[in-house]
Amino acid sequence: MIQRKYRIATFIFASLESLVTLVSFLAAFVLRANLPLDYFGQVFPFRDYVGLLVVVLLLWNLLFALIRSRRNGFAQDWFEVIQEVSLTVFAGTVLISAAIFVLKYDFISRPFIAIFALLNFLFLCAFRLYAKTGVSQFANLLDGERHVLIVGTSEKAARVAEVLEQAHQWGYKLVGIVQEPNGHANPGVIDPRLREYPGIGTEELGEVLRNHIVDEVIFVVAKEALARLEEVFLICEEEGIKTRVMLSFFPHVTSKIYLEALQDLPLLTFSTTPENEYLLFIKNILDVFLASVALAVLSPLLLIIALLIKLTSRGAVIFKQVRCGLGGRKFVMYKFRSMILEAEEVRGQLNHLNEMSGPVFKLRNDPRCTLLGKWLRRFSIDELPQLVNILKGDMSFVGPRPPIPEEVEHYERWQRRRLRMKPGLTCLWQVQGRDTDFSEWMKLDLQYIDTWSLLLDFKICLKTIPIVLLGKGR
């Protein structure tokens, strides 16, 4: 759980620190090579310093790892940052200088070592202070903020709440405490440390999950209470919410039970959504990288399209609409405007022409489209501004299409599970079942979630290309 996010963040952080150290090394070499310090002799070519650079990178990473193992995590404030960086740079410089002296590597410039140590200290401190301990900068790549509910009011539930509060830097936020049925009738059993959080009765849970952002529910209850909470389990499963059970009442577990740990607290995890955080992390990295490249490459086309829209019809170039993203989080989705300015006002007059069952409005030959808009929609060019949404972390290249909040309000409970995957620019429905009804569309989205892999995303992207090029998008 938290440990996996910590390992991912540590890897990213170590890689960026190594990059900063590399830049410091190169800058120190260039600076020393251009300083008039003839007393210390000439500077040898950079190829003679490559071995030293490799040793420095390895040694610095080792020293940082040793310091963090003693602290059990990243530095939390500016004083600890400066202390950690100065200790690493000083110890590393001393060890490198001693090795140079013992091995008599006279070709390595002593002023270079001093300049490198100074620059490396300044660059690393600047990086660490800017990155705010290296955690908050990676929040989106590590699945962003996770809203958690705890079911239970005991001392152990309070302990779980404390651990989650300590893990706020990893994106965990405790949003409420669900009281057990008998605990609800007797407020005195609630641990005092839990009184600061909103209290929720089990009978209110369904409404809370529907109207508020909840990503995970942790059950910290006695063994006999689980039977009484069967309905709560079913609600979470149908909603697609990750469910965890603290195993304090199990005398032992078998290898068939899927376990995770919240620090030293064992949890049994139930999840109906993709669970491999490493692959999801790679997916997010690819989204950001590919969206950046696509925006750079397509920028001339985007400017031309924007100009054509402005010249051919009244209204803004970009159409903005509130959509529901991961877990029901609302965000503003961008599209090139393809309809007349009064499109939303006349929508009610076209409801009888709706070609899609359920709460979604779909009309293949929508009379509200402008002449240019029909062409844009045919080749899905109106969707290109959503590359910005991908870059912001609101969307992915592949995933269920983001619905509008009014549609989500009419979802059946099992359909809401599609919100548990980040919405995408294209999806399984768009490449396999555009002519299906609403229920089949939802089932295709759930099929995508249940069978998700990076390979599946790649296949969907490949299938999307001919659909777009042949004008079968809409």
CATH number, domain containing residue 173? 3.40.50.720
**For residue 177, what is the enclosing H or E element?**
strand 172-179
CA distance 196 to 56: 49
Work out the pLDDT band at 408, boundaries 50, 70, 90.
Answer: very high
Tokens of 358: 């359920």
Residues 255 and 156 in one domain: yes
Residues 25 and 160 in one domain: no
List C-alpha distances in Å: 157 to 10, 106, 177, 312.
29, 62, 9, 61
Q: What is the pLDDT of residue 212?
A: 87
Lowest mean pLDDT: which of 209-213, 280-284, 459-463? 209-213
Residues 113 and 245 in one domain: no
Mean of pLDDT over the chain: 83
Residues 408 and 310 in one domain: yes
The residue among 145, 134, 113, 152 whose CA lies nearest residue 25 is: 113
**End-of-domain residue from the set 255, 272, 289:** 272
Residues 120 and 152 in one domain: no
In a domain, 172, yes or no: yes
Percent of the chain with pLDDT over 70: 86
In a domain, 474, yes or no: no
CA distance 48 to 306: 53
* Cα angle, residue 179 at apex, residues 177 and 180 outer, rounded to 5°: 145
In a domain, 322, yes or no: yes
pLDDT over 70 at 216, yes or no: yes
Q: What is the pLDDT of residue 187?
A: 47
How far is Cα of residue 79 from the mean position of the Cα atoms in its chain? 29
Pairing relationship of beta strands 265-270 and 242-246 according to DSSP bridges: antiparallel
Tokens of 332: 């503003």
Residues 179 and 91 in one domain: no
Cβ neighbors of 227 (< 8 A, separation 6 or more) are none
Tokens of 290: 């590919």
Residues 106 and 150 in one domain: no
Q: What are 323's strand-pairing partners? A: 331
Pairing relationship of beta strands 330-336 and 318-324 according to DSSP bridges: antiparallel
**Contact between residue 410 and residue 314 where contact means Cβ atoms under 8 Å apart:** no
Residues 311 and 425 in one domain: yes
In a domain, 163, yes or no: yes
How far is Cα of residue 25 from the mean position of the Cα atoms in its chain? 32
**What pTM did the predictor assign?**
0.71
Tokens of 30: 């260039």
**End-of-domain residue from the set 114, 138, 162:** 138
| Between residues 79 and 305, the one the model is more confident about | 305
Q: What are 242's strand-pairing partners? A: 216
Q: What is the pLDDT of residue 435?
A: 67
**For residue 396, what is the enclosing H or E element?**
strand 396-398
**Contact between residue 43 and residue 33 where contact means Cβ atoms under 8 Å apart:** yes
Residues 133 and 223 in one domain: no
In a domain, 256, yes or no: yes
In a domain, 266, yes or no: yes
- Amino acid letter, 318: I
pLDDT over 80 at 186, yes or no: no
Is residue 463 classed exposed, middle or buried when 0-12, 13-18 and 19+ CB atoms within 10 A define those classes? middle
**Contact between residue 22 and residue 57 where contact means Cβ atoms under 8 Å apart:** yes
pLDDT over 60 at 72, yes or no: no
**End-of-domain residue from the set 217, 249, 272:** 272
pLDDT over 60 at 146, yes or no: yes
The residue among 199, 192, 206, 141 whose CA lies nearest residue 174 is: 199
Residues 172 and 103 in one domain: no
- Owning domain of residue 103: 2-138
**Contact between residue 179 and residue 111 where contact means Cβ atoms under 8 Å apart:** no
Residues 391 and 372 in one domain: yes
Number of structural domains in the chain: 3
Work out the pLDDT band at 251, boundaries 50, 70, 90.
Answer: low
- Amino acid letter, 13: F
Percent of the chain with pLDDT over 90: 32
Residues 36 and 130 in one domain: yes
